[in-house]
Amino acid sequence: MLAFDQATHDSDNDQQQLLLLDPTARLEPLLQSVLIPTDGFRLQACASTEDIEKKLSSGALLLCYTNDKPALQNLIKRVQLAHPGMPIIVFNDHLAEADPSLLVRQPLIDQLSLKKLDRDLLLRSLRYAQCTRRSQDALAQLKITDPLTGVGNRQYFYQALVNELQEKQQLALITVDFDSFSRFNNEFGHDAGDEVVLELSRRLRSFGETRHISRIGSDEFAFILPVDEADVIEHRTKGLLGELIAALMPAYNIGDGEKTLSCSIGVAYSPRHSSEFDTLIKQSGLARTRAKQKGGLSYAIYDTRLDRSENEDITLEPELWRALQNEEFVLYYQPRIDLRTGCITGAEALIRWEHPVHGLIPPDSFIPACEKSGLIVPIGYWVIQRAGRDMKLIREAGLHGHIGVNLSFRQFQDTYLARTIERLIEQFDIDTSMLEFELTETALFSDEMHVKECIKTLSAHGIAFSLDDFGTGYSSFSLLQKLPITTLKIDKSFIAGVPGNPDDEEIVRAIVTLAHNLQKSVIAEGVETKNQLEFLIKQDCDQVQGYFFSPPVSLDVFLKMLGTNQLQSG
């Protein structure tokens, strides 16, 4: 553990520990006869260097008497590495046996001759070593202490976190900072900024169950909440966060007035999120950034789906290219169920990444990076090609309904989209009567003229179109009438609220009615419960998909489901 969490040293009235390496057992009686209890020293002899290293603490002084010079040299190196600045006194039988090179390489080493040893010389050497030890402790303390607040600094916290992670226990890393602190400094001045930072540190220090409170940025603090039981870490963390928010809520004194300042809090768990200290700090920072988007005094716990930095996307891009080249992507199929017959009437094709190290990765973890980098265009063409190939096996298994393939708004930015898809249809003999492209409302409005031309061109080949996540955007009813869109898919966020939420119930009813009035079919996504299913049946919904019937499954499993006409339960 670091010195910051301990008393820096014994006071003058406490006994100073003297640890003696004395394999011969000759020096201990001599020192005991010279020293008296009121000198304030406590002597403990050890017979080996291994015993010394086990018992040596950062506050001790080391005395050595041995003829084994190589062993002594090795011990000094290891001690100075583990306890930098620790004074060492080496005893020799004669002054001529002293090693001058030790004084040059290790300036905190004193050498005494037993032949000329007396009480005054011994006490003078011990007192000097004691003062040197205390000076070194004070300097070391300054190096790990934030001068404004008195808590640990960044250097201290990073080492403390590394030490905690090496214990391989459950912990929560929590970081806190003010919102718009730069603006506050510009308005009230840096002295006022120092005052509120100091007050923030006082409030954080009031939580005794936390460890290693440190200032790691101008207004950024970090600390650790250790939790023994893995299954209660979220409960303990959220309990602490509730108390923390209450403590941070009161206004701060600024001169003669007060000002309310909001803070944002980020949390990352080890080992759930990471066991690497730099990754864990980064994850907590990303969660804190998301908390700022909520506004006010808010917190966020790191979520791989929601918290992704630009650097992660950049790092991911070359790996995604390799995945495409090495055919690491696969298609899974989630069945669509006809509510009138109870049979599988189609499916949605969903991409997965079979990573050689991390296993099966869901699209939420890599599609955003594909969208940003433009890789979604070639990956999208791969999906069409692979779905077209799979359709032949699906048709042979008895299904002639639609297989939905997602087209993103970025794919419509490719001016050759329609021509490329036409080429894929011809090259791979894709059955266009089974192919359905699922569009988002964002795609419809990204470039209206281009999108309309692409849809009309592809529709002429017999391809169907559905509008995904309907109800969450800004659909134009005129476009619904002008474009050959045959199906509306109700977003799962509305399905999650039925039955029970009157607003969601009314929205679902309105979408079903609208779709039928426009001569379009309607599919409900995210159906997970029997109550949801019964509600949708009453509303005359046409089709559903969701975990109540089946999660997305591999092609082999989907073909078996078609062959036996059985559904997997969620």
Q: Is the model's pLDDT at 106 over the cut of 60?
A: no
Please tell me the distance from the alpha carbon of residue 210 to that of residue 189, in angstroms, as a whole number.
31
Please tell me the distance from the alpha carbon of residue 129 to that of residue 108, in angstroms, as a whole number.
8
Q: Is the model's pLDDT at 108 over the cut of 70?
A: no
Q: Quick count: other Cβ atoms within 10 Å of Cβ 37?
A: 8
Q: What mean pLDDT is predicted for residues 104-120?
A: 77
Q: Quick count: other Cβ atoms within 10 Å of Cβ 455?
A: 24
pLDDT tier at 115, thresholds 50, 70, 90:
confident
* Digit-coded pLDDT (tens) for 246-267: 999 999 998 888 898 999 999 9
Q: Is the model's pLDDT at 375 over the cut of 50?
A: yes
* Digit-coded pLDDT (tens) for 199-240: 999 999 988 889 999 999 889 999 999 988 766 888 889 889
pLDDT for 169 equals 84
Q: Is the model's pLDDT at 314 over the cut of 70?
A: no
* Digit-coded pLDDT (tens) for 446-472: 567 788 889 999 999 999 999 987 765
**Dihedral sign, Cα of residue 453, residue 458, residue 462, residue 467:** negative
Please tell me the distance from the alpha carbon of residue 296 to that of residue 285, in angstroms, as a whole number.
17
Stretch among 11-15, 381-385, 524-528 having the lowest mean pLDDT? 11-15
pLDDT for 76 equals 83
**Nearest CA to 518 among 469, 468, 566, 483?**
483
Stretch among 13-17, 22-26, 522-526 having the lowest mean pLDDT? 13-17
Stretch among 96-110, 137-151, 402-416, 531-545 having the lowest mean pLDDT? 96-110
Q: Is the model's pLDDT at 427 over the cut of 80?
A: yes
Q: Is the model's pLDDT at 42 over the cut of 50?
A: yes
pLDDT for 447 equals 65
Higher pLDDT, 1 or 196: 196
Q: Is the model's pLDDT at 46 over the cut of 90?
A: no
Q: What mean pLDDT is predicted for residues 126-130?
A: 88
pLDDT for 312 equals 54
pLDDT for 472 equals 56
pLDDT for 116 equals 83
Please tell me the distance from the alpha carbon of residue 407 to that of residue 328, in angstroms, as a whole number.
20
Q: What mean pLDDT is predicted for residues 24-50?
A: 88
pLDDT for 6 equals 41
Most confident of 72-86, 337-351, 410-424, 462-476: 337-351
Q: What mean pLDDT is predicted for residues 492-507?
A: 88
Q: What percent of the chain has pLDDT over 90?
A: 40
pLDDT tier at 244, thresholds 50, 70, 90:
very high
Alpha helices in 376-499 (DSSP H): 376-396, 417-428, 441-444, 448-459, 477-482, 492-495
350 in Cβ contact with 334 (< 8 Å): yes
Q: What percent of the chain has pLDDT over 70?
A: 89
pLDDT tier at 274, thresholds 50, 70, 90:
confident
Contacts of 332 (CB under 8 A, 6+ apart): 349, 350, 351, 352, 552, 553, 554, 555
Q: What mean pLDDT is predicted for residues 490-511?
A: 88
447 in Cβ contact with 479 (< 8 Å): no
pLDDT for 10 equals 41
Q: Is the model's pLDDT at 534 over the cut of 90?
A: yes
Contacts of 199 (CB under 8 A, 6+ apart): 252, 253
* Digit-coded pLDDT (tens) for 540-568: 999 999 999 999 999 999 999 998 765 44
Higher pLDDT, 151 or 368: 151
**Nearest CA to 308 among 258, 362, 368, 350?**
368
